[in-house]
Amino acid sequence: MQTAMNGQSGNTDFFKSKVLGHPSGLFVLFFTEMWERFSFYGMRVLLINFLTMAAIGSNPGWAWTSENSGALFGTYAGLLYLTPIIGGIIADKYLGYNRAVIVGCIIMTLGHASMALETEFSLYAGLALLVIGTGFFKPNITSIIAQMYKDLPEKKDGAYTIFYMGVNAGAFFGMMLCGYLAEKIGWSWGFGLAGIFMLLGCLQFAMAKPLFGKIGDKPEPKKAEDLNVPAEKQEYKANPFTIFDKVLIVITSIIGLLYLLNDPLSKIGNVHLLPQAFLLSKDILSGPTVIIILGLILFLVLVVSRILRYDYVLRDRMFAVILFVFFTVFFVLSFEQGATSLVIFARDFTNRTFEGSAATAYIVVNTLLTVGPLVIITWVLFKLFKQTFKKISLSNIFLGLAFVGVWGLVIWMLNRDISSHAYEVSYEVVKSPSIDKEGNVAKDKTGKIIYEYTPVSEASILKKEGIVEQKKEAFSTLDVLKVGDKITLHEEAGKPVYLSPEQKAKIEQQYKGHDKPSTITSGTISQIKDSQVEITASWFSILNSFFIIVFASLVSKVWESKFNPSAPVKFGLGLIITAIGFAVLAYGAKAIPQGAEPGIVRVSMIWLIVAYLFHTLGELCIQPVGLSYVSKLVPGKMIAFMFGMWYLAIAIGNKLAGSLGGMIEEVTSKYDMSTFFLIFTFVPTAAGILLILLNPVIKKLMHGVK
């Protein structure tokens, strides 16, 4: 066995140099994936927040509607799961896995750098580069692991477990640090930080080539005798693509791509790649909707017709996989609200402030939450250094620089929270009835008038009806102030923000540029308060990675116990558990009235924390189970094709997640926030119950696979 692996790697020391019982090369891949996920999730958690943030403020965004931003995000996220199919083919035929990973890293670095410029062209260009770069990176780094453990299958599960810890560690620190930097300092800093760590990850991987030898090189072409397998030894009867199959593949691919691109282009730029009406009146169904439905029907014809041409047992098992794939869409469209509507909910309608002893407790918990994992990963880094520094010193230096950067940012972040001062400020506001889009006084479902509060300023002079009221709010700043100090304020999302002279001048220019009356006002420090910390909206997104690390092994042990239901039941339970998370949010959001402006009502953060817990538990019931059964139900030569179907389902789910998440403003204006979350309670619940009811049918289709 050792001889075989030595020959494959081209490096006799490859499997002698070990860290935690695995070859050192695995941990090079671990850190490469960690930095890629750091940059990916670091950017992902910012995108919707940046696009929908008010265009005037201390940290302005682009003030897009949630519908437009959801359309763009859905298309971006959908394409991310389609380009790896092409990237894998290019690596197999031309580049090899190592080169493909490096090419992907370089393209993604350029994408993050482009987004940091914050222009409309650079944003679109950056997202396009990230989609292309991910296509090269995503399938090929896992292919290197598969090649590395080709002759050590008993070690493969442990290797992938370690590797996916890198995924969650990168996501955790990326969302925490990029989110903090972007929300506290500026968006370009967050986007730029993602790019810096992507570059460092690329350099540390590229310089580690001497450690890998031939592992990751372009696969050797198969010999003629390997391709001509006798019929009696084949796993299944050959099923070559017919001309009909190929025509349907081309047609459905074109329809899918046009729909993905048309959705944001038509909403944001009024550019229509598809007709606005097709076969039906656009009042009944829009043209793009009709076309994508037809495309899905044609795709279903393609898949079913191909499956029916296989032998009876394999055919049934493939239908079982297709059912799992279908129900995955319902999970993804709900779960991925974490990147869209839940970001908006966390920012605008969640009380993210800790005061006094609660602030101190948060700082302690956040320190342990951040420093604990970082210490463990740094310990792994030192073990890797000891094993590989002589052979790949440059790679280790770049890796060390990345860790110095993370430690520096973590210390800076924690110190900034500890050093902030809390004050109460008193200022005047004008209370006046809110006006709806039709020019009428806005009322909630009970008939009560909805009021808005405008700080006494240029803008408040324009209020024809209004009552001046005194308002007191707490805020925190790094500046040292005293009671009685006159300060400049700008109310953002219902809360006062303390402005320095430079910030005041910047916001005044923003008002002039948008030709709007200023709401900059002044206030008086009325009280020095105990410590106060306002956590970022992006902080909640790290909970998913944290809960995965905490509960993954526990869920795995449950499945290994006597309570080990069949795959359809696990899948169905995962959907229902995910729905429970949204039911919790629906209950917690009952206090938010119909059409509420951001910041007017904020609910406890406990609802969001509990929701993320249930969403993670749902994910742990679905993702590992689904991937496992794809590999069990189809022959080895068909796994790539069926994984392609799996990723297609995730792409569709992500697109739907973006579109449905973008409806948050429309639904809450017509109904309320609670109703919006009930959509994601009922849909996955119904899907989960249906899947559990189909359990006997699916078990029969699986023909004994457990």
Residues of the chain with pLDDT > 70, as a percent, come to: 92
Q: Is residue 513 domain-resident? A: yes
Pair 132, 214: CB distance under 8 Å? no
Structure tokens at 326: 């279908």
pLDDT at 228: 53
Burial of 104 (0-12, 13-18, 19+ CB in 10 A): buried
Residue 6 has pLDDT above 50, yes or no: no
The DSSP bridge partners found for residue 491 are 496
Q: Which of 282-286, 329-333, 603-607, 682-686 has the lowest mean pLDDT?
A: 282-286
- Whether residue 381 lies inside any domain: the answer is no
What is the torsional sign of CA 95, 96, 97, 98? negative
1-10, 308-317, 379-388, 415-424: which has the highest mean pLDDT? 415-424
Q: Among 309, 327, 356, which residue terminates a domain? A: 309
Class of residue 249 by CB neighbours under 10 A (exposed 0-12, middle 13-18, buried 19+): middle
Question: Residue 9: is its pLDDT beyond 50?
Answer: no
* Domain with 458 in it: 421-530
> What pLDDT, on a 0 to 100 scale, did the predictor assign at position 403?
95
Q: Are residues 509 and 553 in the same domain?
A: no
Cα angle, residue 478 at apex, residues 476 and 480 outer, rounded to 5°: 95
What CATH number has the domain bearing residue 114?
Answer: 1.20.1250.20
Q: In 447-479, which positions are buried (b, 16+ CB within 10 angstroms) versus exposed (e)?
A: eeebebbbbbbebbeebeebeeeebeebbbbee
Q: In angstroms, rounded to a whole number, what is the distance separating the alpha carbons of residues 664 and 672?
A: 9
For 651-698, the pLDDT digits (tens) are 999 999 999 999 999 999 888 899 999 999 999 999 999 999 999 999
Q: How many residues does the chain have?
A: 706
CA dist., res. 264 & res. 257, Å (int): 12
656, two tokens: 């739907």
Tens digits of residue pLDDT in 544-564: 999 998 888 888 788 777 777
If phi over 0 gives left and psi between -120 and 50 gives alpha, with beta otherwise, what is residue 216?
left
101: Cβ contacts below 8 Å, ≥ 6 apart: 32, 136, 137, 140, 141, 144, 205, 216
What pLDDT score does 640 carry? 67
| Stretch 436-444: mean pLDDT | 72
Burial class (CB within 10 angstroms; exposed 0-12, middle 13-18, buried 19+) of 699: middle
The pair of three-digit structure tokens given for residue 434, joined into one six-digit string:
């809110």
Strand-strand pairing, 467-477 and 486-492: unpaired
Confidence of residue 1 (pLDDT cuts 50, 70, 90): very low
Same domain, 208 and 273: no
379 lies in some domain: no
296 contact partners, CB below 8 Å, separation of at least 6: none
Q: Is the pLDDT of residue 130 over 70?
A: yes
Orientation of helix 341-349 relative to helix 673-693, angle to 10° = 140
**Within this chain, do residues 449 and 543 fall inside the same structural domain, yes or no?**
no
612/276: higher pLDDT = 612
- 39-48, 236-245, 275-284, 667-676: segment of lowest average pLDDT: 236-245
- Give 220's DSSP letter: P
Does residue 235 lie in a domain region? no
Report the distance separating Cα 521 and Cα 489, nearest Å: 5
pLDDT at 235 over 60: no
* Number of compact structural domains in the chain: 4
Are 544 and 513 found together in one domain? Answer: no
Clarify whether residues 271 and 288 are in a common domain: yes
pLDDT recorded at residue 17? 61
495 pLDDT band, cuts 50/70/90, is: confident
Q: Which residue has the tokens 């526990």?
A: 554
Q: State whether 304 and 430 are in the same domain.
A: no
Between the ranges 370-374, 383-387, 575-579, 667-671, where is the mean pLDDT highest?
575-579
493, 508, 530 - which closes a domain: 530
Tell me which of 16-25, 295-304, 487-496 is least confident: 16-25
pLDDT for the residue numbered 584: 97
Looking at the domain assignment, is residue 578 inside a domain?
A: yes
d(CA 409, CA 179): 12
Among 195, 200, 257, which residue's Cα sits nearest to residue 648? 257
Distances (CA, A) of 546 to 102, 112, 416, 420: 29, 25, 23, 26
CB atoms within 10 A of CB 92: 17
Q: Give me the mean pLDDT over the 436-449 stretch.
A: 73
Are residue 88 and residue 208 in the same domain, yes or no?
Answer: yes
What would the mean pLDDT of 577-583 be, rounded to a whole number?
97
Residue 5 pLDDT? 41
In this structure, is residue 267 part of a structural domain? Answer: yes
635, two tokens: 């022959």
Higher pLDDT among residues 632 and 101, named by residue = 101
| Residue 98 shares a structural domain with residue 176 | yes
Q: List CB contacts of 443: < 8 A, sequence separation 6 or more.
A: 449, 450
- DSSP of 259-323, one letter per residue? HHHHHHHHHHS---SS-S-BSB-TTTS-HHHHHHHHHHHHHHHHHHHHHHTS-HHHHHHHHHHHH
Q: Which amino acid is at 118?
A: E
Tell whether 465 and 555 lie within a shared domain.
no
In this prediction, residue 267 carries a pLDDT of 93
Nearest to 704 by CA among 566, 559, 560, 562: 566
Q: Over 50: is that where the pLDDT of 526 sits?
A: yes
| The pair of three-digit structure tokens given for residue 380, joined into one six-digit string | 């792994």
Residues 129 and 273 in one domain: no
Amino acid at 700: K
Structure tokens belonging to residue 546: 């944290």
C-alpha span between 331 and 502 (Å, rounded)? 46
Residue 666 domain-assigned (yes or no): yes
Q: Are residues 152 and 246 in the same domain?
A: no
Q: What is the average pLDDT value for the chain, to the nearest integer? A: 87
Model confidence at 13: pLDDT above 60: no
How far apart are the C-alpha atoms of 19 and 267, rounded to whole Å? Answer: 51
- The structure tokens listed for 206 are 């590229």
The verdict on 518 and 542 lying in the same domain is: no
Q: Using CA atoms, how far apart are residues 651 and 628, in angstroms rounded to an integer? A: 19
pLDDT of residue 605: 95
In a domain, 360, yes or no: no
Maximum pairwise Cα distance, the chain: 91
Residue 157 CA to residue 71 CA, distance in Å, equals 37
The CA distances from residue 443 to 438, 463, 598, 600, 664, in Å, are 12, 18, 16, 15, 19
Residue 223: per-residue pLDDT: 55
Contact 617, 304 (CB under 8 A): no
Is 34 within 8 Å of 166 (Cβ atoms)? yes
CA distance 196 to 553: 32
